[in-house]
């Protein structure tokens, strides 16, 4: 059976630090997991800010997960984003899949550095200027990860009926060496990874999907080569009645023309 590991990411990891769990089971990280004062100044390797990172691993899947914002700050950021973010409408709120155009089952917006564009699912999006709140969140993510980002795709889910289908963030504009940093605010939602070789009836291998719950104020870092081999989705959850905002920070390669 395929195994994945979830463990604290420190400078040095021992075998005793690794928690093995079946990928059939949901991984739920409680908000009360925190770093004590003695650990707050600890060296965390490549990460520049000492937050309680957890490692999520499976075959060709490498992710880091942490609660980046306290509940109070996450509540405030959610409220500010509701006031600042302008979402796409009309034709800009549609997506092309296998030649057919569909309404996106959630709201979307794109922000970033001047002149940047991002093309996915047959649609090209231009970056709106950073808002003060988006700038603040981006700076916080950079301090936590040591990575720089010049673009963010925002998805707003009004409730559990809004969803996102299986896909990979592997567009050519993206810097393949840079992770994608996903910040979640609002309702906690299940997030599911599925290996490309195990999708569909004609799949060549049996690899169990990996599922975790993305909490309010959390950060999921999807490191290479995750998006090459694993699809991810946010399934419908009808019992979820409150909204969620997700921000995926990316590094888009600048044109050399």
The answer to whether the annotation marks 92 as part of a ligand binding site is no
Rounded Cα gap, residues 156 and 108, in angstroms: 6
Long-range contacts of 35-43 (CB under 8 A, 24+ apart): 42/10, 42/11, 43/11
Burial (0-12, 13-18, 19+ Cβ within 10 Å), 183: buried
The answer to whether the annotation marks 118 as part of a ligand binding site is yes
The answer to whether the annotation marks 117 as part of a ligand binding site is no
Containing 152, the helix (H) or strand (E) segment is strand 151-157
The answer to whether the annotation marks 232 as part of a ligand binding site is yes
The answer to whether the annotation marks 124 as part of a ligand binding site is no
The answer to whether the annotation marks 155 as part of a ligand binding site is yes
- 139 contact partners, CB below 8 Å, separation of at least 6: none
* CA proximity to 145, closest of 56, 241, 249, 34: 249
Burial (0-12, 13-18, 19+ Cβ within 10 Å), 219: buried
The answer to whether the annotation marks 167 as part of a ligand binding site is yes
- 52 contact partners, CB below 8 Å, separation of at least 6: 8, 33, 34, 35, 66, 67
Report whether 192 contacts 4 (CB < 8 A): no
The answer to whether the annotation marks 136 as part of a ligand binding site is no
The answer to whether the annotation marks 113 as part of a ligand binding site is no
Alpha-carbon dihedral 130, 131, 132, 135, rounded to 10 degrees: -30
What is the token pair recorded at 7? 């463990």
Rounded Cα gap, residues 82 and 21, in angstroms: 37
Residues at the annotated binding site? 98-100, 118-120, 155, 157, 167, 170, 232, 244, 248, 250
Residues at the annotated binding site for substrate? 98-100, 118-120, 170
Residues at the annotated binding site for 2-oxoglutarate? 155, 157, 167, 232, 244, 248, 250
């Amino acid at each position: 059976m395929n195994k994945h590991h979830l463990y604290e990411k420190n400078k040095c990891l021992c075998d005793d630090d690794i928690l093995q769990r079946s990928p059939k089971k949901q991984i739920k990280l409680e908000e009360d997991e925190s770093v004590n004062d003695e650990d707050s100044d600890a060296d965390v390797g490549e990460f520049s800010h000492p937050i309680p990172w957890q490692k999520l691993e499976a075959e060709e899947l490498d992710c880091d997960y942490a609660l980046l914002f306290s509940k109070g700050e996450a509540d405030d950021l959610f409220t500010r984003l509701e006031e600042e973010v302008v979402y796409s409408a009309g034709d800009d709120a549609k997506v092309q899949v296998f030649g057919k155009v569909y309404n996106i089952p959630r709201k979307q917006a794109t922000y970033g550095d001047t002149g940047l564009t991002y093309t996915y699912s047959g649609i090209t999006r231009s970056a709106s200027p950073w808002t003060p709140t988006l700038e603040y969140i981006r700076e916080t993510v950079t301090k936590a990860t040591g990575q720089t980002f010049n673009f963010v795709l925002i998805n707003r889910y009004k409730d559990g009926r809004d969803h996102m289908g299986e896909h990979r963030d592997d567009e050519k504009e993206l810097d393949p060496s840079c992770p994608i940093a996903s910040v979640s605010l609002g309702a906690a939602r299940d997030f599911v990874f599925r290996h490309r070789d195990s999708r569909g009836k004609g799949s060549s291998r049996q690899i169990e999907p990996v599922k975790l719950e993305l909490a309010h104020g959390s950060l999921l870092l999807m490191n290479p080569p995750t998006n090459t081999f694993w699809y991810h989705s946010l399934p419908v959850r009808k019992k979820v009645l409150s909204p969620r905002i997700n921000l995926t920070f990316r590094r888009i390669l600048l044109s050399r023309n």
